[in-house]
A and B are shown apart, each in its own frame.
Chain A
Amino acid sequence: MVATGQAAGKPAAFRIKDCSLVSIATGRHAQNLRELRDHLAAVDALCVYNHFWLSRLRPLYDDVEYSNDFAAWAHRALNDDVLGERLSMVDPSMFDDLEELRQEVLDLVETRLDERELVPWARPGHRFDFMHSQMVIFDTRRQIERPEDLPEAVAKLSLGSVFYHALDARRRNPHGWDDFRAWLAGFPEDYSQLFQRLESVDWYFLTLADLRDTLVAVFTEHFGGKRS
């Protein structure tokens, strides 16, 4: 919930939140594709969330071609680009819950195991470590009063805030909306065109910094004003 103190007919200000993440090892790791399948079937669903979404908040080079951890491991550690490509096309925002997402990955992994005569192994030192995380969410005590302020305000968001409001929000809000759409939907104005533009942002290949720039461009285009 990001809008509080709502007055009649108009949503309250958008309270900007931020988050910080710390990774925790589950103790499960895979040295080959079969082990990956076995552990993937058994881990907590939040672990799946971690490897699809929260990896965005961890050290990441600009190249996010393989933007979930499973696809990246298939490419880099197993040298199985077929599997890497298939896994990289799994869009977690298209799944209603994490169990469906887990099942999709399991299906792809098992299909690949069926196709290969030998189980692909990772080189020594390149095992897949199943991780989960603790996330601390906090109020920045900053807020956005009016939709017209979005371009300037979003330009100043930390990467943690971008993650929380633009990506993590998709699991929290109805329709898989980010927090910006959830807030704008409370206004009487017609923001359908802006919603379409936000819907069309292909976040999958964007770093959080790129995503922030893209959102600023979308809001600036809609509301006008000087781009930061």
Chain B
Amino acid sequence: MTGPVPAQSEQLSVDAYAAVAGEDVILQLRRLAEPLAGKRVVHVNSTRQGGGVAEILAKMIPLMRDLGLDARWEVITGTPDFFQCTKGFHNALQGDRVEIPDRLLAVYEDVNRQNADALRDVLKDADFVFVHDPQPAPLLHFTGTRSGKWIWRCHIDASRPQRNVWRYLRRFVSGYDASVFSLPAFTQSLPHPQYVIPPSIDPLSDKNRELEPAEVAGVFDRFGIDPDRPMILQVSRYDRFKDPIGVIQAYRMAKRYIPGLQLVLAGGGADDDPEGEAVLAEVRTAANGDPDIHILVLPPDSHMTINALQRAADIVLQKSLKEGFGLTVSEAMWKRKPVIGGNVGGIRLQVINHQTGFLVNSPEGAALRIRYLLHKRDKLEKMGERAREYVRTNFLLTRHLREYLTMMLGLMHGNAPRIELS
């Protein structure tokens, strides 16, 4: 294990978002940030690449800096045992029965103690410290003295956690000044304010920016997808909670009625997910050599490829069984794609049933909606337009940043329900 890694930040300006979010949104951000100018803000997570948290932080930090905050991003380092333990936490918080041996818990605490030692100078004087997910949660405990506000940001669907695991983690979380969950249903019994702030997508990133038609068409050749036949897509890590096997089942049922149907499963691993290989093997077995099922394993920086695949797809699925938020849902909706999503967690916030897509509870439900949308192209297009506008209003990075700034101002003013800036 090496020491924590300060992540590099690109230069970004909030003004660049005016064209998609509106001038008024940029003005809001600049006014809200004025009282926070110069404040030292540190975000800490456990992976620089792969997964939604790293994607958000890669943009959030430079935008905070552009607004005058002294923001930085630190990434803790860990051992394979550490990540096996934290993957167990992740699964347990999402409701799986998981046994985590004491040996791994000892590794978890030891790794956090070492990271706290390495980061102490940065963390103890920070005005705001955002600690993301369970991996670095004990940093507060091991940092000791501190001067600023510490916020634990939980990105996981923790609506029904395995209780003994939550009880263990709660010891480390309860000392924070606040926590942030993506949905009200994920909040827990904690002795501090629990803010509810959904995540967001960056409309200007390589994953979401507009592409030329030739860039979109490129994925057909590259992956052997027939552009003249319908294609459905799920983009997600190879993780059982994303239910890739259920997606294959839905595809097979729909293909009986739409023989030309093609399925693309596009995913990769995250640095902090040791189970991906095993799930990928299960998916390949389930696909059983079907030439119309394309299982793609993409490196973590394949943002343009994912962008092109989402634009090339007729329908995007996110048939998760548990989902903290599901950034790929908003990504697809931003590209005017209706989403067939699992009726769980943060997907419910994004997919408005029958309006911006469909919420389903089974492979059969997904198959039915695939058939429906591919037979009713006019509905598909209308839903896609609604989906785009819904994301524009609710799930862009600018809204996320505004709510973080509002929360930071709120924490500076105690429990006041209304704060009037002078």
Contact = CB atoms under 8 A, between A and B. Distances in A.
Q: How large is the interface on A (under 10, 10 to 19, 20 to 34, 35 or more residues)?
A: 20 to 34
Contacts of A94: none
A46 B417 CA distance: 8
A125 interface: yes
Contacts of A161: 24
Contact of B403 (A22, A62, A159): A22
- Taking residues whose C-beta sits less than 8 angstroms from the other chain, chain B's interface range is 35 or more
Interface stretch (B116-124, B216-224, B405-413): B405-413
A61 B184 contact: no
Contact of B421 (A24, A27, A63, A137): A137
B196 A25 contact: yes
Contacts of B196: 22-25, 131
B253 to A, nearest CB: 25
A92 B32 CA distance: 29
B146 interface: no
B187 interface: yes
A133 interface: yes
Interface in B363-422: 386, 390, 393-395, 402-403, 405-407, 409-410, 413, 416-421
B24 A137 contact: no
A205 interface: no
A157 interface: yes
Given A27-B194, A125-B185, A134-B410, A158 B27 contact: yes
Contact of B184 (A25, A46, A136, A158): A25
B31 A18 contact: yes
Contact of A20 (B185, B193, B402): B402
B198 interface: yes
Given A25-B194, A25-B196, A20 B417 contact: no
20 contacts: A20-B32, A22-B196, A22-B403, A22-B406, A24-B193, A24-B195, A25-B184, A59-B349, A125-B185, A129-B187, A131-B184, A134-B413, A134-B418, A134-B419, A135-B418, A136-B409, A139-B421, A158-B22, A158-B28, A161-B24
Interface of A: 18, 20-25, 27, 29, 46, 59, 61-63, 125, 127, 129, 131-141, 156-161
Interface of B: 22, 24-25, 27-28, 31-32, 159, 181, 184-185, 187, 189, 193-198, 344, 349, 352, 355-356, 386, 390, 393-395, 402-403, 405-407, 409-410, 413, 416-421
Given A23-B184, A25-B194, 10 more contacts: A23-B196, A24-B195, A61-B390, A129-B184, A134-B407, A136-B421, A138-B32, A138-B420, A138-B421, A158-B24
